[in-house]
């Protein structure tokens, strides 16, 4: 009998196996626990918490990037909510969207020689507008979930959504799963429309390819959106490809942190008839610049040369966080992130007319060196006097381009990553 069968994952939301799968990289430092030594004890506490559920009331409201979110500081109830979310996914066959898979699909769609239009649409106030009746009808009004999972979900909704008809709290993994449950029928209807060529959605962000360039997409979407949800009129983009064989121009659209630059020219006798360049989105480049500036502002106020060096290394390179104490169950022993791993689908086109992703990385390198070492920089007084020659040399060795292309790796302990991110943790971009 397999471990999956032995632990009864499909039948129970809360058991040793389900809680083991809910452990995450970085939990030890975030929640002040020692999963390497006390893993079994923490799982036992979570099992007990699932029976009681009073821990659901022990949360705080926080603001992240200008959005109101909910946060739990106690580890057992966090594991309960993660396990409940995993069980709902299993029971409803909800597949959480993968940014990596979606971007790969978008790239392949743009390469096609089919005349088409690409529409980017956004759902306004997504989490705040999710209709609760769909969630309750699908999960509570049926035998979809086990009695213990149903009880936990009812308690969660009663605490966070009491008296509401719409809205689930931001900041929790279970809210993302509930939102996907509410959007399942919508997704099916979009894909079935005869004018839709390809459809991608990541949370509230949609990219839809249509055969008809004059397709009234907004009318169709507004007709099938679940009650309470509406399109954000300020985030509305459309590009049209008419397959001009001699056209050397290109069109661009931003989606999921990337800028897609797509050639108008078609070469039908090649494996990829349409050339495409994928670059880090301009909005993300601006965010990286902002983090450099915020790091320097913090350094000017609290001069810590080693911390500044680590912040620059963190931004320009890549790092791995080991999944301490959770390698019994789970496919990965570590989680990798950074300039390459966050944007590893960047690629250049084979024609010079389309922008090259390396240009923005070189631009970031120039910005970094200028703002730290140029006498005209507002931070020069601090960096020239409070950084030693060694620290300056270490910063000069940092490079966004090199960090992407090598890709360069840096080692940071989870606690150090928290200190690094503190310079920009509450910034609004």
Burial of 271: CB neighbours in 10 Å, binned 0-12, 13-18, 19+: exposed
The mean pLDDT value of the chain amounts to: 92
pLDDT tens digit sequence for 239-256: 998 766 666 689 999 999
Provide the sign of the torsion angle of the four alpha carbons 62, 64, 66, 68, taken in this order. negative
pLDDT band at 269; cut points 50, 70, 90: confident
Cβ-count burial 237-262 (b if 16+ within 10 Å, e if not) = ebbebeeeeeeeebebbbbbebbbbb
Tell me how far apart the alpha carbons of residues 280 and 259 are, in angstroms, rounded to a whole number: 6
- What is the rounded (10 degree) CA torsion for 168, 171, 176, 182? 10
Q: What is the pLDDT of residue 127?
A: 98
- DSSP states of 345-385: T-B--SSTTSPPHHHHHHHHHHHHHHHHH-TTSTTHHHHHH
Q: What is the pLDDT of residue 1?
A: 38
In this predicted structure, the answer to whether residue 72 has a pLDDT above a threshold of 50 is: yes
Tell me how far apart the alpha carbons of residues 1 and 157 are, in angstroms, rounded to a whole number: 36
Q: What is the pLDDT of residue 81?
A: 98
Q: Which residue has the higher pLDDT, 265 or 202?
A: 202
Tell me how far apart the alpha carbons of residues 258 and 346 are, in angstroms, rounded to a whole number: 8
In this predicted structure, the answer to whether residue 5 has a pLDDT above a threshold of 60 is: no
pLDDT tens digit sequence for 136-189: 999 998 999 999 999 999 999 999 999 999 999 999 999 999 999 999 999 999
What is the mean predicted confidence (pLDDT) over 270-289?
Answer: 92
pLDDT band at 8; cut points 50, 70, 90: very low
In this predicted structure, the answer to whether residue 198 has a pLDDT above a threshold of 90 is: yes
What is the mean predicted confidence (pLDDT) over 69-86?
Answer: 97
- DSSP states of 380-394: HHHHHHHS-HHHHHH
CB atoms within 10 A of CB 310: 19
In this predicted structure, the answer to whether residue 290 has a pLDDT above a threshold of 80 is: yes
Side-chain-side CA neighbours of 257 within 13 Å: the count stands at 16
Share of the chain above pLDDT 90, in %: 79
The model carries a pTM of 0.91
Query: Alpha carbon of 66 to those of 69, 170, 326, 426: distances in Å?
Result: 9, 12, 33, 9
Tell me how far apart the alpha carbons of residues 23 and 255 are, in angstroms, rounded to a whole number: 30
Q: What is the pLDDT of residue 246?
A: 63
In this predicted structure, the answer to whether residue 93 has a pLDDT above a threshold of 90 is: yes
Residue 344 phi/psi, 5-degree rounding, is -75, -5
Name the residue among 178, 84, 62 with its Cα closest to residue 126.
178
């Amino acid at each position: 009998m397999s471990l999956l069968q032995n632990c009864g994952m499909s039948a129970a939301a809360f058991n040793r196996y389900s809680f083991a799968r809910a452990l995450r990289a970085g939990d030890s430092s975030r929640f002040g626990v020692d999963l390497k030594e006390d893993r079994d004890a923490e799982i036992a506490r979570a099992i007990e918490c699932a029976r009681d559920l009073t821990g659901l009331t022990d949360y705080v409201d926080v603001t992240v990037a200008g959005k109101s979110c909910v946060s739990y500081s106690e580890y057992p109830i966090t594991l309960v909510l993660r396990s409940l979310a995993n069980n709902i996914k299993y029971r409803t066959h909800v597949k959480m969207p993968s940014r990596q898979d979606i971007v790969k699909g978008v790239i392949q769609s743009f390469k096609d020689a089919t005349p088409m239009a690409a529409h980017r649409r956004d759902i306004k106030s997504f989490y705040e507008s999710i209709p609760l009746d769909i969630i309750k009808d699908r999960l509570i009004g049926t035998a979809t979930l086990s009695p213990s999972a149903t009880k936990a979900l009812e308690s969660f909704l009663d605490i966070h959504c009491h008296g509401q008809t719409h809205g689930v709290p931001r900041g929790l993994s279970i809210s993302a799963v509930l939102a996907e449950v509410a959007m399942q029928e919508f997704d099916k209807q979009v894909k079935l429309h005869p004018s839709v060529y390809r459809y991608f959605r990541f949370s509230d962000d949609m990219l839809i390819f249509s055969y008809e360039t004059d397709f009234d997409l907004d009318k169709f979407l507004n007709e099938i959106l679940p009650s309470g949800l509406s399109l954000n009129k300020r985030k509305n983009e459309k590009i049209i490809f008419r397959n001009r064989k001699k056209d050397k121009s290109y069109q661009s659209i931003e989606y999921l942190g990337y800028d897609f630059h797509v050639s108008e020219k078609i070469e039908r006798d090649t494996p990829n008839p349409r050339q495409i360049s994928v670059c880090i989105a301009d909005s993300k480049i601006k965010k990286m610049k902002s983090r450099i500036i915020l790091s320097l502002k913090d350094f000017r106020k609290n001069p810590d040369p080693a911390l500044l060096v680590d912040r620059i290394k963190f931004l320009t390179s890549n790092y791995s966080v080991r999944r301490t104490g959770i390698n019994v169950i789970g496919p990965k022993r570590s989680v990798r992130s950074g300039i390459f791993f966050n944007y590893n689908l960047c690629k250049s086109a084979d024609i010079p007319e389309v922008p090259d992703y390396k240009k923005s990385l070189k631009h970031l390198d120039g910005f970094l060196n200028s703002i730290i070492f140029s006498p005209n920089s507002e931070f020069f007084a601090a960096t020239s006097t409070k950084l030693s020659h060694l620290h300056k040399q270490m910063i000069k060795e940092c490079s966004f381009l090199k960090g992407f292309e090598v890709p360069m790796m840096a080692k940071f302990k989870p606690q150090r990553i928290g200190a690094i991110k503190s310079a920009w943790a509450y910034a609004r971009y």
